[in-house]
Amino acid sequence: MAKRQQVAQQESFRSMTPSQFFYEYREVAGFGSPSRALYQTVRELVENALDATDVHGILPDITLVIEQIPEHPSYYRITVEDNGIGIQPQHVPYAFGQVLYSSKYKLRQARGRFGLGAKMAILYGQIKTGQPVEVYTSPIGSSKIYFFRIKIDIERNKPIVLAKGEYPNPSGWHGTRVSVVIEGDWPRARHRVHEYIRRTAIAAPYANITFIDPDGNITVYHRTIDKLPKQPREVKPHPQGVDIELLKQLIRKSKATTLLEFLIDAFQGVGRKTAEAFLDWAGFDKNLDPHKLDDRKLEKLARKLREYQRFRPPSADALSPFGPEIIEAGLRTILKPEFVAAVTRRPRAYEGHSFIVEVGIAYGGQIPPSSEPILLRYANKIPLLYDEKSDVAWKVVDPKNFDWRNYLVVFPAPVAVLTHIASTKVPYKGVGKESVADVPEIEQELRNALREAARKLREYLLQKKKEEEAKKRVITFMKYTPEIAKSLATILKDYSVDENSIREMLLTAMKKRLRIEDEKFAKLVEGLEVNIEE
């Protein structure tokens, strides 16, 4: 009996490659259903196109085409072309055929982070439609255009290059064109995909975006501003963000022979003075060879680095916020409001990662009134559409937590709020990048930014209220002026004061009393004739 139990408890084991893992759990990356997969594929390819352009100082020209395949109505070909930096041909098979292969594993803000997105779209297409990805690319300055047709060997997590070729590039084109065929559900995805592109255009008024959808609609978002966001620069890690593993990796890479040199060499913002002061405080000999530290010493060093409060704050060089001008231009062009204001806060840090929070508010105009603010969330310039209510940005703008009445906004109101978190590490809740966790430092900054932008809205609304009141008074006054002037003219007929000059005098007195200059007065009475007659 005891022996049988033992046998029953035997388990078999095996390992998985990253591509097998994401093949089995594709819903965690946003590929759970045909409609969601269609949306996610568009996102991944468009975000790669933008990363290849604005991050490198190129004004983006991006074309997205989604076509239904006539022989298989549930199959769609999604093609995205950009004018970006292109990809060196030796990297193409891995960039598109090996899960977790990326040029973005760096401390520099980019939309991409995981080395997963394009491969998920390719993998999903491959398992549902059997079709490979097709890539045309030409790196900047290349005399050739390279072509690849690739599938993923899911068991081995390796690219399978089915075909490749080279073409001359007489026009000097640079950029990339990626085409995948996936199973999709356009009718269900239509709204989200259009909304995603619209929100991308709001945040990238410096891009030309052309979108041809399967219904044959052509939507073009024209560039309205030639200014690009500041380009991010790669930075070294911040000492407060280390753990034992990162410390080991940095030491392995470093040629420094003393702890002092190592700290100066491996971390951002650490000069000789700071390194000496830290080592003294932490109780380490500055001449120790970092390569000889045992696990106990490594643990202590990592802990002390995290605890030391006198390092310079993390550098914002790696970040690329939109800036108020771009946010305001985007909101104005797409939402057509009567008022916009945007705020870019100063850099802050959490766990050794710098971040910048931005908030834009748009009010009135063509924004429809609703019972709560319309929230447009962005993280590292990516619009986030799903899981809004579990995002830290919603927590902050939610009328249950933010007293909008203090800022003269009473719901239902026509208010849209844009939030942007730019960071070398956005704390996404999942690899599908749909919502951001409520890290206290980020939440606090969002609240501060919202307050700052909302104060500007309050000023505007106050001014508007004042003007409306003044207008009301002017209307009342104008209504009675003719009558009063007439009566006064009758009373004063012996003094030969005519009705018109009395009217003029009354008008001047009113302007003086209400402190309205002529120009403003003209504006206030514009189109009032009808009311006055009434």
Ligand X SMILES: Nc1ncnc2c1ncn2[C@@H]1O[C@H](COP(=O)(O)OP(=O)(O)OP(=O)(O)O)[C@@H](O)[C@H]1O
Residues of the binding site for ATP: 48, 82, 103-104, 112-119, 433
Query: Based on CB atoms, which residue is closest to ligand X, 30 or 373?
Result: 30
Residue 390's nearest CA partner among 380, 375, 405 is 375
The alpha-helical segments, DSSP class H, found in 308-349 are: 324-335
Report the residue number, 65 or 408, with the smaller CB distance to ligand X. Answer: 65
Residue type, 118: A
Cβ proximity to ligand X: between 150 and 362 the closer is: 150
Query: Taking the alpha carbons of 313, 314, 316, 319 in that order, is the dihedral positive or negative?
Result: negative
Q: How far is the CB of 337 from ligand X (least distance, A)?
A: 32
| CB 145, CB 173: distance < 8 Å | yes
Question: Looking at beta carbons, which residue is closest to ligand X?
Answer: 112
Task: Pick between residue 103 and residue 257 the one whose CB is nearest to ligand X.
Answer: 103
Q: Closest separation between CB of residue 386 and ligand X, Å? A: 16
Q: Please choose, from the candidates 451, 471, 475, the residue with its C-alpha nearest in 3D space to the C-alpha of residue 529.
A: 475
Smallest separation, CB 108 to ligand X (Å): 12
Q: What single-letter amino acid sits at 197? A: I
Provide, rounded to whole angstroms, the least separation between the CB of residue 48 and ligand X. Answer: 3
Measured between alpha carbons, how far is 486 from 530 in angstroms, rounded to an integer? 20
**Burial letters for 54-88: b for 16+ Cβ neighbours within 10 Å, e otherwise?**
bbeebbbbbbbbbbebeeeeebbbbbbbbbbbbbe
Are 364 and 414 within 8 A, CB to CB? yes
Nearer to ligand X by Cβ, of 137 and 274: the residue is 137
Question: Of 99, 97, 112, which is closest to residue 149 (Cα–Cα)?
Answer: 97
- What tokens does 87 get? 């990809």
95 versus 409: smaller Cβ distance to ligand X: 95
Compare residues 129 and 137 and give the one whose CB is closer to ligand X.
Answer: 137
Amino acid at position 456, single letter: K
- C-beta of 153: minimal distance to ligand X in Å? 16
Classify 188 as helix, strand or coil. Answer: helix
User: Which is nearest to 320 in space by CA: 379, 393, 362, 270?
Assistant: 379
Using CB under 6 A, list all residues that contact ligand X.
44, 48-49, 52, 82, 84-85, 87, 95, 102-104, 112-119, 176
Q: How far is the CB of 193 from ligand X (least distance, A)?
A: 17
Cβ distance to ligand X smaller for residue 87 or 293: 87
Contact 269, 309 (CB under 8 A): no
- Known binding positions: 48, 82, 103-104, 112-119, 433
- Nearest to residue 233, comparing CAs of 159, 318, 168? 318
Token pair 């006054």: residue:
477
Shortest Å, Cβ 427 to ligand X: 14
Q: Say if residues 49 and 62 touch (Cβ distance below 8 Å).
A: yes
Answer for the pair 443, 392: CB distance below 8 angstroms, yes or no: yes
CB of 83 to ligand X, least distance (A): 10
